[in-house]
A and B are shown apart, each in its own frame.
Chain A
């Protein structure tokens, strides 16, 4: 772990106030066309409308993919595959529902299939190097910091279907209703999965963070 790792546990002892959950059903600003309008226009072969959707939800979809696909380069390919699926499925989108729920539903189904395929293959991912005069720095196209890597690794340790529920609700900030729509289950089920997923994440995060703190202490001259 690098020296940039934050040592956890140094916060104040007063219980922090939980943040207020934002209840947004779209990422569109007030002056932008709403999602369902763009989706309908894209279904009618409006290129600009589809591109607008890609730009609006590109980072979010990529984040969902990255949480399920280990290889960052493959993650980009997977994201494109999902958008192609979305493009082909647009004629079936119904504006009564939430576009982003529908989008994440397609994405989650696709990454689950991709994950199953990945598990079947005997593939070992090698380290990457950067072609810049011999540097051996780890190149991650997502530009992760080590700290974020710990968080991501902890999240990755959470088993399905709880991980997807946490990703949708806590990372993508979907409402429970939207998450239920994306996951194809009841709201009560989503809440239960989120609850278990959060607790599991907390345990993994605590474990990984403690290990990082110990290594940092050892490196700084502590005792084994």
Chain B
């Protein structure tokens, strides 16, 4: 079809608006009557404008959006002292609703939330020291966008720097964020984001002295994704929220974490299953962990599957399955190599044990056996060693186990470095765990997947 006449086409918009003068309209209509391209072109123009009307906004704004926004507005007003919002009820009137919110990335928030949830849900008379402390609502500090296949992460968010210096105990953790995942921090935390020369993203989150002061340095490592998919973090959070509402009032904090671990594990399993059929993997292997990387700080259980025929380097190409990260309360890494599989967890017993329990039902028997083996070891540690009873004071599992000098993980009560850092205010969670274990009649034997409860 020929294009409309340029001069007439330029009048389409005015004709559509009805803003042509009488004389102009007469000229326009007369031309359209005689010129097919212009007539058809104008009809197409009007149809396009009519279809464009489909983009007009409709419906109501989402309530959750408004709630979140008003919360931010309230905080903005509080911080600046200008335009402080006043209201007659709800969060603006003071005192926020305590709400457990689990974030994969913020270990400090996890520690605080875990302690709070423990104090609220446990029947133990020895409640956590933070049981009555109102919780802070985590707020997003930015989102991580992933580039697939070993490419650096680009962070988009708000950079904030430390405002004061703390005497801190540096603990380096490593974990991976899924694409589109949002880092969240508590208002009491100070966040600093920087990009290392190696291209890794360094996020330092310093928490305030609610329980103890400390700083976490998160190193975002390169991660090869099993497939070009993202986890819709909002959906994950919805699932977590639903579990909180259903599980916490009935079963308590431990089972809540177990359930959440199952949720995230399901995500990980799905992503493994969604891996593309074609093995379009990079020829270069993943970089080995640097000597000071926190791989050594994690509680690691390795299943030795030594094979008689060691694969040649060419055979290794593509044989290495990418590490699967479970976006649980703490990072759980399952790394499969041609000759072994490694299960690594980070965190104290309060988070490690539920993760391991969740893995007992893993469809992969190898993983389940590793989890069972580790749980059996923990059981022995807790119960146990009669040589230790009465001689060592219990230590809180919330204290990170770091012993770079020995380069290996030690049970916390055997680690003089950890014991040195413990404070008397901390709740002896080991006793609580032992009591819980016995009360629930857990029987875990190495090599068995079933758990008797």
Q: Hey, which bits of chain A sit against chain B, CB under 8 A?
A: 8, 11, 13, 15-16, 18-21, 43, 45-48, 50-51, 54-55, 58-60, 62-63, 67, 73-74, 76-77, 79-80, 83-84, 87-88, 90-91, 117, 121-134, 136, 139, 141, 147-148, 151-152, 155, 166, 170-173, 191, 194-195, 198-199, 201-202, 205-206
Q: Chain A residues near B14: list those with CB within 8 A.
A: 195
Q: Are A126 and B65 closer than 8 Å at their CB atoms?
A: no
CB-defined A-B contacts under 8 Å, sample of 7: A16-B47, A59-B59, A63-B56, A84-B73, A155-B52, A191-B13, A202-B48
Known: A50-B73, A50-B85, A129-B229. A124 touches B17 (CB 8 A): no
Q: Are A124 and B147 closer than 8 Å at their CB atoms?
A: yes
Q: Interface-forming stretch among B234-242, B340-348, B349-357?
A: B234-242
Whole-angstrom CA separation of A123 from B143 in the bound complex = 11
Task: Give the secondary structure class of A's interface.
Answer: helix
Interface size on B, residues (CB 8 A): 73
- Nearest CB in chain A: distance from B223 CB, A: 13
A17's closest neighbor in chain B, by CB?
B46
Known: A74-B143, A126-B230, A131-B236. A80 touches B69 (CB 8 A): yes
Q: Are A121 and B154 closer than 8 Å at their CB atoms?
A: yes
- Nearest CB in chain B: distance from A22 CB, A: 11
- Chain B, residues 7-30, CB within 8 Å of chain A (1/0): the string is 001101111111000000000000
- Chain B, residues 118-156, CB within 8 Å of chain A (1/0): the string is 000000000000000000000010010111100000101
Q: Are A121 and B156 closer than 8 Å at their CB atoms?
A: yes
- Nearest CB in chain A: distance from B150 CB, A: 13
Which of B44, B179, B266 is the one whose CB lies under 8 Å from A126?
B179
Q: Chain B residues near A79: list those with CB within 8 A.
A: 65
Taking A59-B60, A205-B48 as known contacts, 5 extra A-B pairs with beta carbons closer than 8 A to each other, sorted by chain A number, are A45-B84, A58-B61, A79-B65, A127-B229, A129-B232
Q: Are B228 and A127 closer than 8 Å at their CB atoms?
A: yes
> Which B residues between 46 and 96 are near A, CB-CB below 8 angstroms?
46-61, 65-66, 68-70, 72-74, 76-77, 80, 82-87, 92
Q: Chain B residues near A50: list those with CB within 8 A.
A: 70, 73, 85
B29's closest neighbor in chain A, by CB?
A15
Q: Are B73 and A139 closer than 8 Å at their CB atoms?
A: no
Q: Chain A residues near B57: list those with CB within 8 A.
A: 59-60, 62-63, 171-172
Whole-angstrom CA separation of A171 from B60 in the bound complex = 17
Q: Chain B residues near A16: list those with CB within 8 A.
A: 43, 46-47, 50
Whole-angstrom CA separation of A172 from B56 in the bound complex = 6
Known: A50-B85, A55-B60, A91-B83. A122 touches B147 (CB 8 A): yes
B75's closest neighbor in chain A, by CB?
A84
Q: Chain B residues near A131: list those with CB within 8 A.
A: 231-232, 235-236, 239, 266-267, 270
Q: Chain B residues near A139: list those with CB within 8 A.
A: 232, 235
Q: Are A21 and B148 closer than 8 Å at their CB atoms?
A: no
Whole-angstrom CA separation of A20 from B147 in the bound complex = 48
- Nearest CB in chain B: distance from A47 CB, A: 4
Whole-angstrom CA separation of A50 from B50 in the bound complex = 33
Q: Are A206 and B44 closer than 8 Å at their CB atoms?
A: yes
Q: Chain B residues near A151: list those with CB within 8 A.
A: 51-52, 54-55
Q: Are A201 and B52 closer than 8 Å at their CB atoms?
A: yes
Which of A127, A148, A194 is the one whose CB lies under 8 Å from B230?
A127
Q: Chain A residues near B49: list those with CB within 8 A.
A: 18, 170, 198, 202
Q: Are B43 and A47 closer than 8 Å at their CB atoms?
A: no
Which of A45, A123, A124 is the one whose CB lies under 8 Å from B86?
A45
Q: Chain A residues near B84: list those with CB within 8 A.
A: 45
Q: Are A124 and B83 closer than 8 Å at their CB atoms?
A: no
Which of B15, B61, B180 is the one whose CB lies under 8 Å from A55?
B61
B282 contacts partner chain A, Cβ-Cβ < 8 Å: no
Known: A18-B46, A21-B17, A129-B274. A87 touches B83 (CB 8 A): yes
B45 contacts partner chain A, Cβ-Cβ < 8 Å: yes
Q: Are A134 and B73 closer than 8 Å at their CB atoms?
A: no
Q: Are A123 and B154 closer than 8 Å at their CB atoms?
A: yes
Whole-angstrom CA separation of A16 from B47 in the bound complex = 8
Q: Are A58 and B66 closer than 8 Å at their CB atoms?
A: yes
B42 contacts partner chain A, Cβ-Cβ < 8 Å: yes
B39 contacts partner chain A, Cβ-Cβ < 8 Å: yes
Among A15, A83, A141, A148, chain B packs the most CB atoms within 10 A around the CB of A15
